[in-house]
């Protein structure tokens, strides 16, 4: 039996197999069954660049050989075809393993802060929001110039952050050398590590999906993981620190690393996230004394 839907056509072109069925999933994804017994997932991005960026990010993360990443079967225009993940319950043991694997992923490193994955575009995305992967060798300067300030300007232009309020975030950017903690080499980041992109597999291993992968500071992934909640956070952290202890005072820096995703959400979703970003900035400034 043949299927002519766009998801089936993309799956067939990327895998070279005939399609025997398809089923819609949440979030606009489609599960497609192939004639060799495999099942794949097809996702359509907003544009071909986003699909190519996501594929490059998944392959780069998989190349570290640590955290499990769904196999990329191919990209066809806006369509991305990946391995299906059989889901299971979250568990404390899987959380510890994930923490260890995440530490190994970060340790795999990157050529520079802001470095794009091999084959990935400079103009990429975090979710539906654009980001620029521009390299730098100084994390505080790079983070301010290429993550925080561009979204602060967009939020001000949209009226989501008032001009007078923006001064607090700008002061944090000026003081980032004092707030950033000890210097670290560029880590290989997932880049959008919220709980929705952490899939708990039926085999007891976590898979990561939908990255905004780039070279960055490892505390950024951990701060993002804390932002919207995740099962067994203390077990994840225990596994991480067992493998790669974090620098003293890292919990005081969480808000600094959350500034970027909060400003992204402020631009996309409104004032509530802007208030959280401003609260994080003011807490960082108070910490300086």
pLDDT at 4 over 70: no
pLDDT higher than threshold 80 for residue 142: yes
Give me the catalytic one of 76, 101, 192, 221. Answer: 192
| Local confidence band at 127 (pLDDT 50, 70, 90 cut-offs) | confident
The answer to whether the predicted template modeling score (pTM) of the entire model surpasses 0.85 is: yes
Surface-to-core class of residue 79, CB atoms within 10 Å of its CB (0-12 exposed, 13-18 middle, 19+ buried): buried
Mean pLDDT, residues 190-215 taken together: 96
Q: What is the pLDDT of residues 246-265, one digit of tens each?
A: 999 999 999 999 999 999 99
pLDDT at 58: 98
Name the band, by pLDDT with cuts 50, 70 and 90, for residue 287: confident
pLDDT category of residue 1 using cuts at 50, 70 and 90: very low
Question: Which residue ranges form the domains of the chain, and what is each CATH number?
Answer: 6-83 (3.30.200.20), 92-288 (3.90.1200.10)
Q: What is the pLDDT of residues 52-108, one digit of tens each?
A: 999 999 999 999 999 999 999 999 999 999 999 999 999 999 999 999 999 999 999
| pLDDT bracket for residue 129 (50, 70, 90) | confident
The answer to whether residue 192 is catalytic is yes
């Amino acid at each position: 039996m043949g299927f002519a839907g766009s998801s089936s056509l993309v799956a067939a072109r990327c895998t070279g197999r005939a399609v025997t069925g398809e089923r819609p999933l949440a979030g606009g994804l489609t599960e497609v069954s192939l004639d060799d017994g495999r099942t794949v997932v097809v996702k359509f991005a907003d544009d071909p660049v986003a699909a190519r960026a996501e594929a490059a990010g998944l392959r780069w993360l998989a190349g570290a050989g640590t955290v499990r990443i769904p196999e990329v079967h191919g990209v066809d225009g806006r369509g991305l075809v990946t391995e299906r993940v059989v889901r299971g319950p979250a568990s404390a043991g899987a959380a510890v393993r994930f923490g260890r694997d995440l530490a190994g992923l970060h340790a795999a490193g990157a050529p520079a802060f802001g470095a794009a994955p091999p084959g990935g575009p400079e103009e990429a995305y975090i979710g539906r929001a654009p980001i620029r992967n521009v390299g730098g060798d100084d994390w505080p300067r790079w983070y301010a110039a290429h993550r925080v300030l561009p979204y602060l300007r967009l939020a001000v232009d949209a009226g989501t952050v008032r001009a007078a309020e923006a001064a607090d975030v700008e002061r944090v950017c000026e003081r980032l050398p004092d707030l950033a903690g000890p210097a670290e080499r560029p880590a290989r980041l997932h880049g959008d590590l919220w709980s929705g992109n952490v899939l708990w597999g039926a085999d007891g291993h976590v898979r990561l999906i939908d990255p905004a992968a780039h070279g960055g500071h490892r505390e950024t992934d951990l701060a993002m993981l804390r932002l919207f909640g995740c099962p067994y956070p203390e077990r994840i952290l225990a596994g991480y620190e067992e493998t790669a202890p974090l620098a003293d005072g890292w919990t005081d820096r969480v808000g600094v690393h959350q500034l970027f995703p909060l400003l992204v959400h402020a631009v996309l979703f409104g004032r509530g996230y802007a208030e959280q970003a401003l609260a994080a900035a003011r807490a960082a400034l108070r910490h300086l004394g």
